[in-house]
Amino acid sequence: MSHTSTEFNQGSVSQTFHRYLIPAVAGMLIKCAFIFIDTLFIGRLVGADGLGAVSLVIPYFSVFTAIAMMLGIGGATWMSIEFGKGNHDKGQAIFSQTLFFSVGVFTLLVALSWLTLDSVLHAFGAEGAIFTLSREYLIYLLPFLLNYSINWVVSSFIRNDGNPKLAMVAMVAGALVNIVLDVVFIWWMDMGMGGAALATGLAQWVMTAILLTHFKSKTAQLSLRFSRCRRDVIQRVSSIGAPNFFIELALTITIVVFNFVLLNQYSEAHLIAYSLTINLGVFVLFILLGISQACQPIISYNFGAGNYLWVKQSFSLGLKYGVCIGLSVGVLVSIFASEIVQWFITDDPAQIAMSVEAVRWYFLSAPFMAANIIISTYFQALAQPSKSSVLSLLRGLIFVLVGLFMLPPLLGDKFVWSAFVFAEVMTIGFSLYFVTRNPLPEKSPTNDLHEVAEIKG
């Protein structure tokens, strides 16, 4: 019996779930800490304009992350299902072809980003100091976005290959290096936004080095090798990973639209409040993604093995943890919003007041966000991406934009921040409908996954 079988369907569901939950959430918490400190350095040492510039840079991260998560989680989910059936060679081929395709795609994206940098920033509405700071950040960061993206892809496969602790260690090490380099580049060397970007980029190399050690370990089923990709394989990987792509794509579009609307219909103060809110919102989002990462390999493997009891119990555990954590974080942030905002912004009472209001509104959505994310992950882990994609688009794009354009005219300008709560609450109805109307199939998934024949490279 392989180590993967021991990891995913031996002992109790609770033990297996916690074995994956702890490193996944711990890694995400550390990543949140480095984003928090990164934002703190920028807010305190570069200034409020630096926070506004970060908001305009986020779409670049989002595009690369969207494609990386689509390929990484899509491929790793399919690989786990094949491992559950005992098809090791097919799982290896999925990894090799996905990795080869990923390197090519992200190399092209980096080159395209270089060629269109100024025109894209102007299209986002950047002007003056915010344009200068955004451009400086991206000039330093773009050379490292290939590493950043491949790390997402490889860590997804490593986690599903029974090594979640290594993925956590890589994330923790990268975060710590990032923090140390922030001190060096931003504080000691006074490099501003360029220093923040350089610190983030160099940390990605550290993560890559750590992740690659998995393929030398005795427990690894996967080996690190490239294989020429076939169109049908990449289409299947992309199909399963599409919900993650839509999550990030929706976030990107939403941020671009919010940036444009806030700059043109409101003020730069609104943009700064929004940027701070989004950066703080990553905290709860990453914790929830950590919980979903703990569920997904267990659900996928046992779905492939036809062990539906474990599938149901893993999903139930993830949902309970997610909602409880979302509710707790939402309450705490609502109580201490003023103190949190003043860690980043000082000596500007009007900006502080506006940011506190935005942060409180956003975190009210946390328990609903938790349920929507876990349910979406559940359907993706079952290789049913259409339902997961619908939920991702509803909560991340459609209902957010409906709230943005509908609520302020009806209820007043302050309700511009309520769009996130509106989106999550509206989506929860669809999430519950899909769960109640789509029970697990009665027969094994072996014959209904549109398998690709002879995919070995």
Place of tokens 């609770």: 14
Query: What are the pLDDT digits (tens) for 62-73?
Result: 788 889 989 998
> Residue 5 in 3-state DSSP?
helix
Predicted confidence band of residue 454 (pLDDT cuts 50, 70, 90): very low
CA distance 164 to 282: 21
What integer pLDDT is reported at residue 3 of this predicted model?
A: 42
What integer pLDDT is reported at residue 332 of this predicted model?
A: 93
What integer pLDDT is reported at residue 255 of this predicted model?
A: 78
Q: Does residue 440 register a pLDDT over 70?
A: no
Query: What are the pLDDT digits (tens) for 346-383?
Result: 777 888 888 899 999 999 999 999 999 999 999 988 88
Query: What residue type is 357 in one-letter code?
Result: E
Q: Does residue 410 register a pLDDT over 70?
A: yes
Query: What are the pLDDT digits (tens) for 224-259?
Result: 887 788 888 899 899 888 877 877 777 778 877 887
What integer pLDDT is reported at residue 190 of this predicted model?
A: 77
Query: What are the pLDDT digits (tens) for 383-405?
Result: 888 888 899 889 988 998 998 89
Max Cα separation, the chain? Answer: 64
Flag whether 448 is in a domain: no
Flag whether 370 is in a domain: yes
> Residue 225 in 3-state DSSP?
coil
CA distance 396 to 362: 13
Nearest to 170 by CA among 142, 204, 201: 204
Q: Does residue 261 register a pLDDT over 60?
A: yes
Q: How many domains does the chain have?
A: 1
* Highest mean pLDDT (candidates 7-21, 150-164, 214-228): 150-164
Query: What are the pLDDT digits (tens) for 108-162?
Result: 999 999 898 888 888 776 777 778 888 888 888 898 999 999 998 999 999 888 8
Q: What is the mean pLDDT of residues 260-274?
A: 82
Nearest to 129 by CA among 196, 39, 38, 56: 56
Nearest to 47 by CA among 202, 186, 255: 186
Query: What residue type is 81 in one-letter code?
Result: I
Flag whether 1 is in a domain: no
What integer pLDDT is reported at residue 50 of this predicted model?
A: 75
Tokens matching residue 246: 């839509």
Domain boundaries, position 324: 10-443
- Which residues fall within 8 angstroms of residue 43, CB to CB, at 6 or more apart? 50, 51, 276, 344, 345
Q: Does residue 337 register a pLDDT over 70?
A: yes
Lowest mean pLDDT among 103-107, 170-174, 208-212: 170-174
Question: How far does Cα 14 stand from its chain's mean position?
Answer: 25
Q: What is the DSSP letter of 11?
A: S
pLDDT cut 90: percent of the chain above it: 26
Query: What are the pLDDT digits (tens) for 86-113?
Result: 888 888 999 999 999 999 999 999 999 9
Q: Does residue 443 register a pLDDT over 70?
A: no
Q: How many CB atoms lie within 10 A of CB 324?
A: 12
Q: How far is CA 310 from CA 10, 16, 82, in A?
A: 10, 10, 17
Q: What is the mean pLDDT of residues 308-321?
A: 90
- Which residues fall within 8 angstroms of residue 455, CB to CB, at 6 or more apart? 90, 93, 94, 97, 230, 232, 233
Q: How far is CA 362 from CA 86, 326, 371, 391, 456, in A?
A: 44, 12, 16, 19, 46
Q: Are 294 and 24 in contact (CB under 8 A)?
A: yes
Predicted confidence band of residue 328 (pLDDT cuts 50, 70, 90): very high
What integer pLDDT is reported at residue 10 of this predicted model?
A: 59
